[in-house]
Chain A
Amino acid sequence: MPRLVFVPAAEAGLPAPPSKAVIAPKKLRLSQILPAIFGLWLAGVFLILFSNARGYIRLRRDCRQARPVTLEELGSGLGLPSSISLSLSPDIHSPVLFGIWNPVILLPHDLAEWTTAEERDAMIAHELAHLARRDHLTNLLPLVLNVIFFFHPLVRYACRQFCLEREMACDDRVINQGFDAATYAESLVKAAERNIKGKLNDLASNRLHQPAFLTSKQALERRIEMVLKTDRVRVLARRWWYLILPGALIVAMAWLLVPDRHTTAQQLQKQLDDAAGSVKDGSLKGVLDRYLTDTTDYDNLVKTVLSTNGQLREQALRRLMESEREWATAALGEIYDKTRELALRSSLIDYLGQRRASSKLLKLATSEPNTQLRQQATQRLLEMESEDRSGALIELYASVRESAVRESIIRSLGRRGDIRGLALVGDLEDNPTLDQLNRQQLEWMATSHENANTRRKAQEWLAMLQRQALSNDRKGQDLPPPPPPPPPQRAAYSPPSLNDSAAVAKLLQEDPNDANIVRAMLRESGDAVIRRDTTFFEKALADDYQEIGINGEIKSKGQVIAEIKHPQIKFTRIEIDDLRLKGDVNSMVAIYLGTAYYEEDGKEQMVRVRVTDNLIKRRGGWQWVGSHVSLTH
């Protein structure tokens, strides 16, 4: 068996092959094929049109040259409608109905020589049946379709069937008029013979054109068989309602075949238009690529999260979380609506919170049947920092009745300095306790808010409230006593210091509760500062983390991380003493004494600070959200 052995050209002593660019076959692209297809089709259409036009012109000429004749001259006893005329032509070989507006029955000039009177009558009756059925008009339909779909076998077959059925329907009419079936069949055969002879003569004289009376042997056989079949009931479907059901089915099927996105080209164009409209910069191709990728990604990621478990699902969720595209938020919402898994839903609420999907969170906070998830959504909404959050909080306030939730909303609005929000929820509130809390927030803002403008507005608002109270004669009314303070949290066990990393690690290993996790994180933060390990802080600090430094300056997460990388300051040791932890499973406050030893410009230095850290648990992990650092004296 011969084998093909590939030997490098150099080894085989052959000249080196030409570069890939030279020998690579040129790939045909769709953009090149489609115009070629259209060009071929157009050429075919012109060819068919030319052929049809030629036949029509010849037939029209034959018609003009034909000699008008009456039925009496032909010895026929039939009646002829006034709208039609008869003519004898030497150029046609079998009877034919010609014309649309002024139809003419053209007969061979020697018809009387090869037919009997009864056969002639049957032939003329056949043509009159065409006229009565308006076949000269309906014949335009297959004519047009044959031009457009000259390449389409099924359309051509359907057109042939249409014509055959038309002829057979006329045959049935002729027989129903009382003509003898055998005589009529004889006339059909004679006409066919004349046709064939005529065709041969036309071929010989190079003037082939043939009006369609009979088209093929099979068609003739079928027609004669049907004509001679005496046991057949020649029922004519004159009642139009026979057509309702099959016609409706055909229409329904055709309707289903017309899709919303009509053609690939139109679909593509629409996508291009959409993409171009939505993005003003960037190349259109790039935009379109992104657009199509987004759509595919959306479907794939949603499907993956809903239909898989484990690592694959986590990857898909992570990708959605990390995506900068807006649709990722919508995808998370869709997954939430479709899944029944509580754990997944819980994670999704966290993700939605991170992506600031206030609208979806508001919906969940008000209408989620599961209490735990509802509370979680409320919590995320309260934690969220975005421009449109106030509106969502006010809507939430109006939707919920729980005092605890309302209290949280008031406090949250107060922290943000949202006077308008406080005013709105104040109007909604009937509970005197919450009303008082609202007022307290305003008072705090009027006196202590860092923004002077906010302070002034709060003072104005309070003054207005006071005036309203006076006008309502409510001055001096005793406010209800403030709610009792919550029971003090049991102080978590705190070791005296966190200066031994191994001891803290052991503590966490023995009892991995939230307090020990926070302790471990505090210790690790000190070690990470010494190592200049910014990765730890990237994860451990919340994106909205803020630190108030020893001089009262406010630092963001990025600024804090930048300080850790400061080239001129090198921390050598960080001690954490006098640690006190307060909080619960979701939030924790850590107060401690921090001592940092560092080298600055080669000099050893030390600083001791009192630190208050705020940590909250997000998606099962703890993160710093704020710190306050002050020098100790």
Chain B
Amino acid sequence: MNPLTEALLTFVGQAAVDLLMWSWQAFVLLACVWAGLKLFRVRTPELRQHLWFISLLAVLTLPLWPKSTLPQRQLRNGAALN
């Protein structure tokens, strides 16, 4: 396998993983919005449309969002002590 093919395959593989991750995120987000709309019985079509619009916009822009800073354990090393 030449380097170009290898690089292409790596890129394609990563793109597929990103796409799957994006789909999963979209699924969770839209399911929550759907449940919220059902639960709170929003009666006005215009408001419902706005909420769907925000949700779809969020889905579309998800890959561009900055990564959240939820606490993650850093890899420890001995240098921290010594």
Contact = CB atoms under 8 A, between A and B. Distances in A.
Contact of A254 (B47, B62, B79): B62
Contact of B82 (A166, A246, A260, A356): A356
A149 interface: yes
B14 A149 contact: no
Interface residues of A, number: 76
Contacts of B50: 237, 243
Interface residues of B, number: 57
Contact of A360 (B28, B32, B81): B81
7 contacts: A145-B59, A149-B59, A236-B46, A249-B36, A256-B68, A260-B68, A326-B82
A521 to B, nearest CB: 32
A621 interface: no
Contact of A327 (B17, B25, B78): B78
A162 interface: yes
B13 A165 contact: no
Interface of A: 30-31, 34-35, 37-39, 41, 138, 141-142, 144-145, 148-149, 151-152, 154-155, 157-159, 161-162, 165-166, 168-169, 171-172, 226, 232-233, 235-237, 242-243, 246-247, 249-251, 253-266, 269, 274, 295, 298, 325-331, 333-334, 356-360, 388
A387 to B, nearest CB: 11
B22 to A, nearest CB: 8
B70 to A, nearest CB: 6
B56 A152 contact: no
A31 B56 contact: no
A151 B5 CA distance: 27
A38 B13 contact: yes
Given A169-B45, A243-B47, A330-B78, A41 B56 contact: no
Contacts of B58: 250-251, 254
A145 B56 contact: yes
The 6 A-B residue pairs with the shortest CB-CB distance, nearest first, are: A326-B78, A165-B49, A168-B45, A237-B47, A38-B16, A34-B16
B25 A257 contact: yes
B12 interface: yes
A295 B77 CA distance: 10
B13 A265 contact: yes
Give the one of B27, B52, B53 with max A CB within 10 A: B52
A89 to B, nearest CB: 28
B2 interface: no
A265 B45 contact: no
B47 to A, nearest CB: 4
A261 B68 CA distance: 9
Given A149-B23, A260-B72, A329 B82 contact: yes
Contacts of A260: 67-70, 72
Given A34-B12, A165-B48, A254-B65, A265 B30 contact: no
A263 B19 CA distance: 10
B4 to A, nearest CB: 14
Given A165-B49, A326-B77, A253 B29 contact: yes
Contacts of A255: 65, 68
Contact of B51 (A144, A233, A243, A359): A243
A158 B33 contact: yes
Given A249-B36, A253-B28, 9 more contacts: A145-B60, A157-B30, A169-B46, A250-B58, A255-B68, A259-B68, A263-B14, A295-B75, A330-B76
Contacts of B66: 258
A165 B30 contact: no
Nearest to B9: A35
Nearest to B58: A254
Contacts of B12: 34-35, 38-39
